[in-house]
Chain A
Amino acid sequence: MNFSIILPETFLFLWAILIFVSDFFTKEEKKANLGYLSLLGILVSIFLLFSTGQGELFGKVYSSDALSQFFKMVFLLSSFLTISVSIDFSSKIQRHKGEFFALILVSTVGMMLLSSARELIFLYVSLELVTIPLYVLAAYLKPDPKSAEAGLKYMLLGAISSAILLYGISLIYGITGTTFLNEIKTRLIVDYLQIGPIGSGLFLSFIFFIAGFGFKLALVPFHMWAPDVYEGAPTPVTAFLSVGSKAAGLVAFLRVFFDSFLVYNFDWVTIMATLAALSMIIGNIVALLQTNIKRMLAYSSIAQVGYILVGMVAISERGVSSVAFYTLAYLFANIGAFVVAIAFELQTGSSEIKDYSGLSRTSPILSLMMMIFLLSLVGIPPLAGFVGKYFLFAAAVEKNLIWLVVIAVLTSVISLSYYVGVLKEMYFRKNEEQVKIRIPLGIRIALLICIIGVILIGLFPNPFLDFASQAALVFKY
């Protein structure tokens, strides 16, 4: 067995333990160094990721392929950006500053393992490894009742959704007698494909899987937890939740769906398209009404998952590659927007949209960046979000899902009006008392990476598209 392919995860996990341990020996005022140490660990892990090969391990439980590599890159990037921002944010955290970084690393390890999971028990355990640190992280600002509420809410609902997923797994195991995705696929083909209507057990387990993953993705109607948790959690954690955790749910969903369930002759397209449409409509319309930027971004991220699902519904190579590509585009734009919100929050203590008024006068560069991130989220050319959305819609149009694309484009127009609402405050409103936002080093690095990502992917998408297309080749359609 070639253990080297699991090296990036192993290394990062050991590094997380190192951070936990060295936390004991670090003085309170030097905790920031632990953040830089974590960043170093992530960089090494990224290096390992691209230098180790592909293959399978533990008897097809774990497989490292182009898809998992693509998403591991997404996870490592999002945790790099999150930690880089958290170094400056940790002034708001009173206790356990060092563990904060380590917990993010552990969660990232979970995500990486999840993206390689080809077996349901392993998948479930990885998923728990992703979420349990996140429960803690959401409640990290303990004295703040909103943060405590966020942690509790996230944990209770997360536990329920995990239980539902586990129930789905046990049903599948009961029906097919295996937990390996490729064997489930064979069993579904052999035993069930010819038998007419769907059995209630299998139907239930499909629904449970959709509900379980829907929760992680914050897909309507499983999205109820997202706005409160996003608002209450420390903002870097929110950024991490909205991108890293979502991408993790997405990759697990892709694996289970395309690797095994898809063979079953079930009306997947209608179900998934309905969920996508609902997410886009409800997410965007409710986002219109928000006055807090974190809540607005929470609802917008619900809608963004809807767009991602549009590509998935197409059930084609083009669809999956555009899903992967859009995830990358979304990563930079969404984390970027959160980073600006964090910089603003650190200085002013507020995340109300109306407090952004007149920001373009005092902090022109920060405002310009926010504008670019938000416009990329809308899908205005020539930014990354536009190219991403274009390809997602192209995949759906290819499969004649014109109605879904029409909903998608119409809701994009709705989304324009609330994203532009923030621009309106920053650029058109005057506010003499607006302060100049100081941008500390960590935030500066994160902003720079995000802005380069958004513009570069928009103008020269070729290499990223190639990578995403390779990732899509992992499945057979």
Chain B
Amino acid sequence: MSEYILTLLVFIPVAGALLLLLVNGSNAGLLKSLAFMVSLLNFILSLYLYFNFDSLNPGFQFEINRVWIQNFGISYHLGVDGISLFLVLLTTLLSAIAILSSWSAIKEKVKEYMVTMLLLEAGMIGVFVSLDLFLFYVFWEGMLIPMYFLIGIWGGPRKVYATIKFVLFTMLGSIFMLVAILVLYFMNYNYTGQYSFNFTEILQLPIPLNAQVWLFFAFALAFAIKVPMFPFHTWLPDAHVEAPTAGSVLLAGVLLKMGTYGFLRFCLPLFPNAFMDMIPLFSILAVIGIIYGALVSTMQKDIKSLVAFSSVSHLGFVMLGLFALNMQGIQGGVLQMINHGISTGALFLIVGMIYERRHTRMIEDYGGIARVVPIFSIFFMIVALSSIGLPGTNGFVGEFLILLGAFNSRIIYAVLGAIGIILAAVYMLWMLQRVLFQTIKNEENKKLLDLNLREIIILIPIILLIFWIGFYPQPLLSKMEPAVKNLLEYVEQKSDSITSSSGECDKICEKAEESSITKEK
């Protein structure tokens, strides 16, 4: 079982999608229930990972390693460690929730929609569990297509523009990663005499410093666009605003995390020296992202684009934590990935719920609805506060750890980052005030219906998670800790050995070494 569990997690949604293809397209109810059952089954199976995960083992667990394409040394290698475990759980949870949330929102092409959702889920899980660079790329790139259709078919008025922009941006970023993967492959061959795309083998490769920088950038571009980091974020507002609710939930909740996950999983251990050299650049970009995202959010008139821009800010926090390169920072970063998935996913759900009722997302169209829809307002408040990072909610733990980590590496980043938290309170609370409180200006708002049972069922697990992580994050942190610790030790060791050995080999390396020595001083 434990060897095949990851394979099951990836292929159950695919099998479900194939099954749905056989169902008559007009039977919407059956299609929806089947899709939901499949995603729920996947979620329950993924809990097996959580309960059987060995917290003391820093390496990969539930591994499966089989030959796939022999001539090229491509393997079917899957596995999770403390870093990817929670991302897989987040994916299965949010996929089930997203499918449930589209119950009444999706009226046309239900069959295609559910098939797309399930394929998307398979792709996302595949990205987080792949331990072979070829396989990783297959999932990474293959996932674009379901997302392309999700936005393009069921999206808002400017969907065609948004989806093509999304696909071109992501493809442009990831295509250089493809070249870099091939370069790594041949480097590995020259070093070991073995053709292999296997991540755990390529990891052992000492890459010369100058090559590290190029390869780092080729990988980083793909991930930075996905995150999205500050100058590459322009696709995100379009894609988010035009996507259907479930699409936004998965986009914000899971897809963006692939970027940050990529930095942590691939960029850091493969190119540790380049990563360390780039800390100032990426930390500054992260801080710019935090503040810029928050400021732009403040000015939004549309609730959904406010939430979209707040993602830029929140992901900036995650990047800041990862590039702090210490225990607290990385743990906070990973935890904040989960938190952002939960909170922002929930915000998109809530925006979707109110949009279904009033068919507008403009802040000015609302006001004072707290009295009309109290249950909705309570949920909205809790989720918004967790997104700000109020103590007692999940957001607080993550942001606190990140700032602690940043403080330990460089105080200035922590100080600037903290401004972002204040700004987050500004845009979020101001929006809440204008939407929920004040007086009812619009007559139509008086007839709003409160949440129905299905919607409450969707939100309850999210609220529970918000408070659970907020009050007692220990189970999560303790599972992450060995993996993060191991990663940090490994990176330190590897970067040292590369700097010391390359000092003897050639001049370019010497230069790089000099620069790293001067930095230490």
Shortest B72–chain A CB gap in Å is 7
Residues of B near A427 (CB, < 8 A) are 149, 152-153
Determine the distance from Cα of A352 to Cα of B339 in the docked complex, in whole angstroms.
Answer: 49
Cβ-defined contact, B182 with A405, below 8 A: yes
Whether, in the assembled complex, B32 has its beta carbon less than 8 Å from a beta carbon of chain A, the answer is no
Query: Interface digits, A400-441 against B, CB 8 Å rule (1 contact, 0 not)?
Result: 001001100110110011001001100110000000000000
Residues of A near B148 (CB, < 8 A) are 420, 423
Residues B94-114 near A (CB distance < 8 A): 112
Determine the distance from Cα of A461 to Cα of B153 in the docked complex, in whole angstroms.
Answer: 32
Determine the distance from Cα of A398 to Cα of B148 in the docked complex, in whole angstroms.
Answer: 33
Residues B163-206 near A (CB distance < 8 A): 163-164, 167-168, 171-172, 175-176, 178-179, 182-183, 185-186
Residues of B near A381 (CB, < 8 A) are 137-139, 141-142
Whether, in the assembled complex, B69 has its beta carbon less than 8 Å from a beta carbon of chain A, the answer is yes
Which residue in A397, A398, A416, A424 is a CB contact (below 8 Å) of B152?
A: A424
Q: Which of A375, A387, A390, A469 has the most CB of B within 10 A?
A: A390
Cβ-defined contact, A465 with B71, below 8 A: yes
Determine the distance from Cα of A254 to Cα of B193 in the docked complex, in whole angstroms.
Answer: 29
Whether, in the assembled complex, A61 has its beta carbon less than 8 Å from a beta carbon of chain B, the answer is no
Determine the distance from Cα of A381 to Cα of B138 in the docked complex, in whole angstroms.
Answer: 5
Q: Which size class do A's interface residues fall under? A: 20 to 34
Residues of B near A390 (CB, < 8 A) are 134, 178, 182
Whether, in the assembled complex, A386 has its beta carbon less than 8 Å from a beta carbon of chain B, the answer is yes
Determine the distance from Cα of A56 to Cα of B364 in the docked complex, in whole angstroms.
Answer: 83
Cβ-defined contact, B164 with A397, below 8 A: no
Q: Which of B148, B163, B175 has the most CB of A within 10 A?
A: B175
Cβ-defined contact, B164 with A417, below 8 A: yes
Determine the distance from Cα of A409 to Cα of B70 in the docked complex, in whole angstroms.
Answer: 25
Residues of B near A423 (CB, < 8 A) are 148
Also in contact, A416 and B153, with CB within 8 A (given A386-B138, A394-B72, A424-B160): no
Determine the distance from Cα of A66 to Cα of B286 in the docked complex, in whole angstroms.
Answer: 56
Residues of A near B142 (CB, < 8 A) are 380-382
Shortest B447–chain A CB gap in Å is 31
Shortest A102–chain B CB gap in Å is 40
Nearest A residue to B173 via CB reads: A413
Nearest A residue to B153 via CB reads: A427
Residues of A near B179 (CB, < 8 A) are 393, 397, 402, 405-406, 409
Query: Interface digits, A346-386 against B, CB 8 Å rule (1 contact, 0 not)?
Result: 00000000000000100010000000000100001110001
Cβ-defined contact, A469 with B71, below 8 A: yes
Whether, in the assembled complex, A391 has its beta carbon less than 8 Å from a beta carbon of chain B, the answer is yes
Residues of B near A412 (CB, < 8 A) are 171, 175
Q: Which of A360, A380, A393, A469 has the most CB of B within 10 A?
A: A380
Cβ-defined contact, A413 with B178, below 8 A: no
Cβ-defined contact, B159 with A428, below 8 A: yes
Nearest A residue to B183 via CB reads: A397
Which residue in A394, A413, A416, A420 is a CB contact (below 8 Å) of B185?
A: A394
Shortest A377–chain B CB gap in Å is 14
Which residue in A380, A387, A461, A466 is a CB contact (below 8 Å) of B141?
A: A380
Shortest A311–chain B CB gap in Å is 13
Whether, in the assembled complex, B411 has its beta carbon less than 8 Å from a beta carbon of chain A, the answer is no
Also in contact, A413 and B70, with CB within 8 A (given A397-B186, A427-B153): no
Determine the distance from Cα of A52 to Cα of B29 in the docked complex, in whole angstroms.
Answer: 57
Also in contact, A413 and B72, with CB within 8 A (given A380-B141, A427-B153, A428-B153): no
Whether, in the assembled complex, A462 has its beta carbon less than 8 Å from a beta carbon of chain B, the answer is yes
Residues of B near A406 (CB, < 8 A) are 176, 179
Nearest A residue to B71 via CB reads: A465
Nearest B residue to A411 via CB reads: B175
Cβ-defined contact, B145 with A380, below 8 A: yes
Cβ-defined contact, A462 with B164, below 8 A: no
Nearest A residue to B184 via CB reads: A397
Residues of A near B171 (CB, < 8 A) are 412-413, 416
Cβ-defined contact, B178 with A409, below 8 A: yes
Shortest B180–chain A CB gap in Å is 10
Interface contacts beyond A394-B185, A402-B183, A410-B172: sample of 11 additional A-B pairs, CB < 8 Å, sorted by A = A380-B142, A380-B145, A382-B138, A394-B182, A397-B182, A397-B186, A406-B179, A416-B167, A428-B160, A461-B69, A462-B69
Q: Can you show 18 pairs from A to B with CB atoms below 8 A apart? A: A364-B112, A381-B137, A381-B138, A390-B134, A393-B179, A397-B179, A397-B182, A406-B176, A409-B178, A416-B167, A416-B171, A420-B148, A420-B164, A427-B149, A428-B152, A428-B153, A461-B69, A465-B69
Closest 6 CB pairs of A and B: A381-B138, A409-B175, A397-B182, A381-B142, A465-B71, A428-B152
